[in-house]
Every structure is written in structure tokens, then in C-alpha cells.
């Protein structure tokens, strides 16, 4: 490619590359080019030829300097290398690196157009440093945008930052290097400890700078649950009859400590009517919510739809790349004044789904959004851009609608709610009858997810007699609730460990490592043993204060108060003594860990109880065929076995059995969750071969379908032929008209020449 181009723009992902190239090209139709399986675009703007190319996330990663001694620890020196060199799974990154290297030689100016955050700044910088001509990173410009919309991209292009955002780059590079040094050193230490026992050849154990404290939260909660001793208490509840309707009432003391006391109250009140002695009415005002930041979006998404934080982040990133919402990785709760909210509302008004509510907001005298407390100088809150979606999946539609409705709600009036507390006296005891009424919906009209349930009471008067029935209920103190992915993320946020962009991913890693399982998170034996071992031998690794200190130091790099070398030196001073002490006790630590690893491996293979004997059904791999199947642990005495898929991940569903098999065969067959390649996860039963199959199509149905397809094909061919015939006729007619025109011209020219003569 010998042509010299004015600018080379580097994007983070292919989707963003397509979007940016279409916006920058003046015709809206950039030239699509493909070389060595890499797609890039050529746009024309202001008489300049611009090339737009993308990475595919991180093309470069951190590795230790002394790669030969991979299992030696501690180590401190790191380097950045191409991802495909380190990881075979990243081989798809090689063509991108080689192509950008080749492409950059013919470009004058370089622009980093990756996402404006730590990751985007680091990705763009590494591409410029390792793929482009020397010192290109020093002369490069930066595009800063929060939305992949025409306005956002053109504004960023016309107002390029004069240099790269080196404060974000330094912080990003440091974070990757610190996490690598911590994670790999500790993981090597744990693996070496297990290997030293000779009980296992190899088992991958890992713990990271943020993973350790996060796993400790779960382990501490588990200990509280296990040590909890429930105490009984009694409640008195009942129903009052007013007219034809019944309403729930409660005793003035919510918890009664002793059963005798509760029974005495029941005996003194039963069979007697109550009398209304007082009616308390109170009006409350509920303010509209603040605009979404990532944390609030993840919370509401989990509460209303059950999506985990990582699922919500992935969905919102897809919406961002489609230009439908602003950048989701933000902590901001204040809409900056340069965002034209009226234009966004005018665009949303064109949607049939949102037109009514958008119109109502636009009719307000002033558009004053509610503000939160948190700010983020890089990006605004999560807002709709005004661009309307063409097609969305069901999950994308739910999150997009949640964001749009939240946007409407921040402009609306407060909601007004009236609460009514009616006092009912019975033989010296007091019961309460509560009512709730929404007086003015306000913002709840636009954000129905938070709607309060109404309890509408009939008209009541003091002195009115109320007949009722009451019951005595024995209850027990509830144990501390288990954490779920969202409450765990909020706990990480509270303790200031991890970042808004990484917390969800860290929780996913704990699941992948086999340390935790279930939506209502339970810690596995292996997870517990890792925490206990580290608590006994190197408790600092689990310390939230140490992790928070490092987070603050890396934040200070971003604020240009500290440099990268200082933070890396601080890590060495802290982690060095811990690892040296660990090495001295390696075998002792390994013995603690090895047993729990073996137990975990057994549990992974355990499916459930055998349906023919007292044995256990397990995943077994045949020594001869190397194929896996489900068999009984009491083999050869019990030959009970079931076939299973040879590929994909199998996860047993604890304490559940197949309802179909129980109703049909009266046997409780265990359930499995299967994750097959290229398919969505699904639940099935070990006895799946005996389940009713979908009715097979008859030969006649198959033949009829074949005939229909043949008819369709012939119809298509006929249409193509007629279209081809029309085109041929048109071309012949065009040729004839052209010939006649030429003939007329030649005649005229001949006449003119004769007259001249």
C-alpha cells in the first residue's frame, strides 16, 4: 500500500470502527477494505483520506521478564508482549498486530479513538507504541467522546486533544502490572505448595489482589451463617373485616419474646370486636431518582430482571456500541450542561413506545434533572442518546427501556404518597391497620419499576367497631442472608476495592475457579480452604485495607500526584516479605490445600444419588474409549449408567429431580445443567433418553416440504429470468436509441458540410 494517508484512527473494537468510519466519511459510505482477514475503512473528510482500523480489545499483555523460569517466585520485572505470544487462544490478534504495523508506515498523523477510560487509553497507547513508527505515541492525538453518535464523534474529531491522556495511560499500565505481579506470584505459590505434597501432579489455584478480600467477604458471611443459632419468637397477626373486604392487621409489638405472654394476649382478645381509637395520616414525598451510573444500573437490573452485574455490563456495552446509550462505565450522577437533553427527548418522542411519556416531559415548563452526589470528569451518567433502535434482543430491550424510563423520571415531579395508620383497641391491647395511597404518581408514572403497592382503606371513623380474627405464629430469628452477585459487588464498592469496570469480572473469576457457586452465593470447600490457608500464613493478602491502599495509590497516578515507579516499588516492599515467608512453609501449606482440592475434584464429578443402590452417580471417563458417561460409584456391584454429551460443561443441579421421570417412573432422577459449544445453557435429566421425543415428520410431510421448496426455487428462477429479460430488453432499446441519435447527428453534420460547400 504505497499511498500516503493523512490520518490513522485506532478504535478499540470492530463495531466502534464501523460506526466511527460511517460518521466521519462525508458521504456516509466509507470504503470497506480487507487485507489478511482484517477489515478496515477509508473515509474522506475535508479533502483528506483517513484510515480507520480497530484492535479487538487488548492486543498486548503483561508477561514476566524471565520467561524461562516460569514457576520460580517471587519475581518483580515485567514486560508487555503481543497477546498471541503468551496465549494460544489469542492467536486471532496476530493478523491485527501485523496489519496495523504495515498500515501505519503510510500514515502521517495518529489518533487514539478507543474508549476514554483506563482500558481504552492503555489499549490505544500499546498499539501506537508497538505497531506504529517510533515516537508516534508522542505525536498522537486523542479523541474523547461519551457517545457513538454523529454529534459525539464529529465533536471529538473536530476538537482533538493535543496529546494522549498520559495520566490515564500510566494508571492503566500500572494497574495491569500490579495485578499481574500480585496474581501470578500468589498463584505460582499456591500451585507450588500443592505440588510439593506429591498428592497431585498439578491443579491450577489462583488468588489476586482483589480476589482475596472479595472471597473473604463470602467466607466470613458463611461462618456467620453456620454459627448462627436461631431463637424463637412469636407474632400476632390477623384480618379485620370492614364491610365485605378483609384487611391485614398486626399487633403493636412486632416480636413477643415468650410464648405464654403471646397466648395471654390471644385469650384476652379472641372473640372480641376492636374499636378505632385513632387514625394517623401522613403525606410523604418521594424525590425522583438520580441519573444512572453503572453501579445503580447494575443494582436495578439485578433487582428487576435478575441480571448479574457482569451480564448488565455486557448488555449495556452492546447498547453503547450501537450508539443507543452513552458510555456505561461511569460513576457520574450529574448531567453536564453541554448535553442537550431537549434534543434527546425530541428524538425519543418519535418512538411509538416512548412518545406519550416523552411528550409529557417536554410539556413541562422547565427541564431540570435530579442530581446525585457522585461525579466523573470523563463521562456523563448513563443516558439514552436519542438514536432509536432498529432491532434489539429481549435482554437488550429490557435494559434499554430501563435506561430510557430512568431518563424520563429524573425530570418529573416528586411522587406524593399518603400513609394511614389506624389504631384498634381491644381489651387494653392495640392493633394497627395500615393503608397506603398514591396521591400523585409524579416520577413513578415514568419509572413503574419502583411503584409502591397501594392498600386502599374504606372510610373509617373514630369509635367504629371492627370485627377481626387473630392467630399466633411461631417464628425464628433469620440467619444472615447469603450474598448474591450484586450485593457482593456493592460490598466491594463500599470497601473501595476494585474499580467500577472490574468488580463484576472479579466475581465471575471466583465462580470460574470453583471457589463459589450458586446465585445465592455459597463458598465451596476449596474456596474456604484457600481463605483459611492464606489467613493462617499470609493474612495481608486478604486485607481490604492493603488492597484499598493500592487502589488509592493508582488513583493518585491518574490524578498526577504519584508516578508508576513509586507504586511498583511499594508493591515489591509489601509483597516480598509475604512471599518469602510463604516459601518457607510451602509444604505445610500444600498439605492443607491438597485435601480440599481432591474433595473439590470429587464434587465436580458428583451428580447425585444412584437411583438403584446407595451409591453415588458420578461423571466417569472410560479408560478404553476415553469417552465420558455417568455411572455408579459402587461399580461393578451396581452397573447403573447413563450417556452424556461428550463436549461442553456439566454442572449438577443440587437438590432437584426430574418431575417428568418422577410422575412417569416414580424415580427421582438428578438434574444437570449443560453448556454445549455454540448453544445456550439448558437443564436436563440424567435419564434424558427416556424422555418423549418430538414427533418425527412423516415421509409425506417431508416430501410436501421438498415440493414446496422446489416450487419456491422455480418461482425465484422465473422471477430472476423475467428480471433478466427486462434488463436485456432495456439495454437493447437503449442501444437502438443511441444508434438512432448517432445516425441523426451524422445526417445533420453531413447536411451542414454540404451547405458550407
pLDDT, tens digit, 9 for 90 and up, residues 36-54 = 889 999 999 998 999 999 9
pLDDT of the residue at 744: 58
Q: Which residue has the higher pLDDT, 177 or 739?
A: 177
pLDDT of the residue at 67: 75
pLDDT score of 588 more than 50? yes
pLDDT of the residue at 1: 45
pLDDT of the residue at 518: 85
pLDDT score of 655 more than 90? no
pLDDT score of 732 more than 70? no
pLDDT of the residue at 727: 58
The alpha carbon of residue 279 and the mean position of all alpha carbons in its chain are separated, in whole angstroms, by 48
User: What's the CA angle centered on 670, arms 666 and 674, to 5 degrees?
Assistant: 135
**Residue bearing cell 417412573:** 665
Please provide residue 684's backbone torsions phi and psi, each rounded to the nearest 5 degrees.
-150, 180
pLDDT of the residue at 728: 63
Secondary-structure breakdown of the chain: helix, strand, coil percentages, each rounded to the nearest 5: 45, 20, 35
For 666-682, what is the mean pLDDT? Answer: 82
Q: Does residue 401 contact residue 304 with C-beta atoms inside 8 Å? A: no
Alpha-carbon dihedral sign for residues 646, 647, 652, 657:
negative
pLDDT of the residue at 303: 94
Distance between CA atoms of 423 and 425, rounded to whole angstroms? 7
pLDDT of the residue at 757: 42
Report pLDDT digits (tens) over 261-283. 999 999 999 888 999 999 999 99
Q: Domain spans of the chain? A: 5-164, 175-227+482-597, 232-288+415-476, 294-409, 610-690
Q: Which of 438-442, 536-540, 715-719 has the highest mean pLDDT?
A: 438-442
Q: Which residue has the higher pLDDT, 111 or 592?
A: 111
Distance between CA atoms of 685 and 471, rounded to whole angstroms? 43
pLDDT of the residue at 604: 72
pLDDT score of 701 more than 60? no
- Helix-helix angle 525-537:211-227, to 10 degrees: 110
Segments of 269-335 assigned E as strands = 274-286
For 374-389, what is the mean pLDDT? Answer: 92
Q: Which one is the CATH code of 232-288+415-476: 3.90.1150.170, 2.70.20.10, 3.30.565.10, 2.70.98.60?
A: 2.70.20.10
pLDDT score of 609 more than 90? no
Q: Which three cell numbers stand for residue 721?
A: 429470468
pLDDT of the residue at 726: 56
Pure H helices in 495-585: 503-512, 525-537, 544-558, 564-584
Length reported for the chain: 757
Residues 6+ apart with CB under 8 A from 461: 276
CATH number of 5-164: 3.40.50.140
Consecutive H or E run containing 396: helix 394-409
CATH number of 175-227+482-597: 1.10.460.10
Lowest mean pLDDT among 48-62, 568-582, 637-651, 728-742: 728-742
Segments of 22-143 assigned E as strands = 31-35, 38-45, 48-54, 60-64, 78-82, 107-112, 141-142
pLDDT of the residue at 444: 95
Q: Is 72 exposed, middle or buried (0-12, 13-18, 19+ CB in 10 A)?
A: exposed
Report pLDDT digits (tens) over 66-80. 877 788 899 999 999
pLDDT of the residue at 248: 93
The alpha carbon of residue 492 and the mean position of all alpha carbons in its chain are separated, in whole angstroms, by 16
Percent with pLDDT over 90 in the chain: 60
Give the pLDDT band of residue 695 (cuts 50, 70, 90): low
Q: Does residue 108 contact residue 6 with C-beta atoms inside 8 Å? A: yes
For 543-551, what is the mean pLDDT? Answer: 90
Q: Which residue has the higher pLDDT, 727 or 454?
A: 454
pLDDT of the residue at 83: 94
Q: Which one is the CATH code of 294-409: 2.60.40.10, 1.10.3430.10, 1.10.290.10, 1.10.645.10?
A: 1.10.290.10
Segments of 596-648 assigned E as strands = 606-609, 616-621, 628-632, 641-643
pTM above threshold 0.85: no
Lowest mean pLDDT among 11-15, 81-85, 383-387, 619-623: 619-623
pLDDT of the residue at 440: 94
Q: Which residue has the higher pLDDT, 261 or 748?
A: 261
Distance between CA atoms of 313 and 508, rounded to whole angstroms? 12
For 416-425, what is the mean pLDDT? Answer: 95
pLDDT score of 645 more than 80? yes
List residues bridging with 54 in a β-sheet.
Answer: 11
Arithmetic mean of pLDDT over the chain: 88
Distance between CA atoms of 458 and 36, rounded to whole angstroms? 76
Give the pLDDT band of residue 371 (cuts 50, 70, 90): very high
Report pLDDT digits (tens) over 710-728. 555 555 555 455 555 655 6
pLDDT of the residue at 285: 95
Report pLDDT digits (tens) over 296-346. 999 999 999 999 999 999 999 999 999 999 999 999 999 998 899 999 999
Report pLDDT digits (tens) over 108-142. 899 999 999 999 999 999 999 999 988 888 889 99
Q: Is 131 exposed, middle or buried (0-12, 13-18, 19+ CB in 10 A)?
A: buried
Give the pLDDT band of residue 708 (cuts 50, 70, 90): low
Q: Which three cell numbers stand for residue 606?
A: 458428583
pLDDT of the residue at 439: 95
Lowest mean pLDDT among 81-90, 471-480, 526-535, 651-660: 651-660
User: What's the CA angle centered on 69, arms 64 and 75, to 5 degrees?
Assistant: 45
pLDDT score of 705 more than 60? no
Q: Does residue 113 contact residue 11 with C-beta atoms inside 8 Å? A: yes
Pairing of strands 628-632, 616-621: antiparallel
Instruction: State the catalytic residues.
Output: 327
pLDDT score of 635 more than 80? yes
Q: Is 327 helix (H, G, I), strand (E, B) or coil?
A: coil
Amino acid at each position: 500500500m504505497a499511498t500516503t494517508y493523512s490520518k490513522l484512527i485506532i478504535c478499540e473494537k470492530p463495531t466502534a470502527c464501523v460506526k466511527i468510519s460511517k460518521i466521519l466519511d462525508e458521504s456516509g459510505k466509507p470504503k470497506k477494505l480487507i487485507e489478511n482477514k482484517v477489515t478496515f475503512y477509508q473515509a474522506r473528510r475535508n479533502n483528506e483520506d483517513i484510515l480507520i482500523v480497530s484492535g479487538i480489545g487488548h492486543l498486548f499483555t503483561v508477561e514476566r521478564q524471565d520467561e524461562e523460569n516460569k514457576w520460580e517466585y517471587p519475581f518483580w520485572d515485567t514486560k508487555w508482549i503481543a497477546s498471541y505470544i503468551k496465549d494460544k487462544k489469542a492467536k486471532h490478534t496476530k493478523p491485527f498486530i501485523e496489519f496495523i504495523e504495515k498500515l501505519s508506515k503510510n500514515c502521517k498523523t495518529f489518533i487514539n479513538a478507543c474508549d476514554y477510560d483506563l482500558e481504552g487509553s492503555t489499549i490505544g497507547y500499546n498499539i501506537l507504541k508497538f505497531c506504529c513508527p517510533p515516537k508516534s505515541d508522542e505525536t498522537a492525538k486523542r479523541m474523547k467522546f461519551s457517545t457513538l453518535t454523529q454529534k459525539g464523534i464529529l465533536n471529538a474529531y473536530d476538537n482533538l486533544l493535543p496529546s494522549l491522556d498520559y495520566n490515564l495511560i500510566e494508571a492503566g499500565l500500572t494497574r495491569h502490572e500490579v495485578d499481574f505481579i500480585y496474581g501470578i506470584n500468589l498463584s505460582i505459590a499456591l500451585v507450588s505448595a500443592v505440588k510439593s505434597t506429591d498428592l497431585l501432579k498439578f491443579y491450577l489455584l489462583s488468588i489476586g489482589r482483589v480476589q482475596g478480600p472479595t472471597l473473604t467477604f463470602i467466607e466470613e458471611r458463611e461462618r456467620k451463617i453456620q454459627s448462627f443459632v436461631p431463637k424463637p419468637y412469636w407474632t400476632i397477626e390477623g384480618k379485620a373485616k370492614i364491610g365485605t373486604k378483609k384487611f391485614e392487621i398486626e399487633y403493636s409489638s412486632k416480636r413477643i419474646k415468650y410464648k405464654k405472654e403471646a397466648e395471654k394476649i390471644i385469650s384476652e382478645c379472641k372473640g372480641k370486636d376492636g374499636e378505632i381509637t385513632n387514625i394517623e395520616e401522613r403525606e410523604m414525598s418521594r424525590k425522583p431518582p438520580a441519573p444512572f451510573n453503572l453501579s445503580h444500573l447494575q443494582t436495578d437490573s439485578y433487582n428487576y430482571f435478575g441480571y448479574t452485574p457482569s451480564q448488565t455490563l455486557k448488555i449495556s456495552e452492546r447498547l453503547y456500541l450501537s450508539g443507543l446509550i452513552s458510555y456505561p462505565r461511569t460513576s457520574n450522577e450529574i448531567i453536564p450542561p453541554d448535553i442537550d437533553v431537549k434534543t434527546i427527548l425530541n428524538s425519543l418522542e418519535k418512538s411509538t413506545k416512548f412518545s406519550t411519556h416523552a411528550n409529557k416531559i417536554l410539556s413541562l415548563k422547565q427541564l431540570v434533572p435530579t442530581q446525585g452526589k457522585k461525579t466523573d470528569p470523563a463521562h456523563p451518567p448513563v443516558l439514552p442518546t436519542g438514536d432509536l433502535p432498529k432491532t434489539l434482543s429481549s435482554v437488550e430491550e429490557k435494559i434499554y427501556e430501563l435506561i430510557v424510563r430512568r431518563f424520563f423520571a429524573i425530570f418529573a415531579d416528586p411522587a406524593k404518597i399518603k400513609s394511614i395508620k389506624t389504631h384498634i383497641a381491644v381489651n387494653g391491647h392495640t392493633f394497627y391497620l395500615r393503608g397506603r395511597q398514591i396521591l400523585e404518581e409524579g416520577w413513578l408514572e415514568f419509572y413503574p419499576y419502583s411503584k409502591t403497592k397501594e392498600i386502599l382503606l374504606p372510610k373509617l371513623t373514630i369509635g367504629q367497631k371492627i370485627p377481626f380474627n387473630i392467630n399466633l405464629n411461631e417464628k425464628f430469628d433469620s440467619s444472615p442472608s447469603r450474598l448474591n452477585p450484586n450485593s457482593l459487588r456493592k460490598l466491594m464498592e463500599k470497601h473501595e476495592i476494585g474499580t467500577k469496570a472490574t468488580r463484576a469480572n472479579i466475581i465471575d473469576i471466583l465462580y470460574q475457579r470453583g471457589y463459589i457457586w450458586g446465585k445465592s452465593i455459597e463458598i465451596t470447600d476449596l474456596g474456604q480452604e484457600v481463605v483459611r490457608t492464606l489467613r493462617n500464613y499470609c493474612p495481608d493478602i486478604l486485607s481490604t485495607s492493603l488492597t484499598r491502599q493500592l487502589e488509592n495509590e493508582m488513583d493518585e497516578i491518574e490524578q498526577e500526584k504519584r508516578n508508576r515507579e513509586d507504586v511498583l516499588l511499594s508493591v515489591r516492599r509489601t509483597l516480598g516479605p509475604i512471599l518469602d515467608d510463604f516459601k518457607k512453609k510451602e509444604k505445610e501449606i500444600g498439605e492443607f490445600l491438597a485435601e480440599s482440592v481432591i474433595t473439590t475434584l470429587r464434587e465436580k464429578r458428583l451428580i447425585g444419588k444412584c437411583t438403584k443402590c446407595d451409591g453415588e452417580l458420578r461423571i466417569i471417563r472410560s479408560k478404553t474409549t476415553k469417552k465420558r458417561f455417568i455411572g455408579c460409584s459402587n461399580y461393578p456391584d451396581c452397573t447403573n449408567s447413563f450417556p452424556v454429551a461428550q463436549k461442553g460443561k456439566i454442572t449438577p443441579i443440587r437438590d432437584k429431580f426430574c418431575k417428568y421421570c418422577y410422575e412417569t417412573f416414580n424415580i427421582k432422577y438428578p438434574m444437570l445443567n449443560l453448556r454445549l459449544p455454540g448453544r445456550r445453557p439448558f437443564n436436563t435429566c440424567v435419564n434424558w433418553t427416556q424422555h418423549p421425543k418430538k414427533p418425527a415428520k412423516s415421509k409425506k410431510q417431508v416430501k410436501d416440504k421438498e415440493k414446496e421448496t422446489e416450487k419456491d426455487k422455480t418461482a425465484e428462477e422465473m422471477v430472476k429470468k423475467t428480471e433478466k429479460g427486462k434488463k436485456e430488453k432495456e439495454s437493447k432499446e437503449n442501444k437502438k436509441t443511441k444508434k438512432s441519435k448517432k445516425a441523426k447527428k451524422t445526417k445533420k453534420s453531413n447536411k451542414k458540410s454540404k451547405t458550407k460547400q
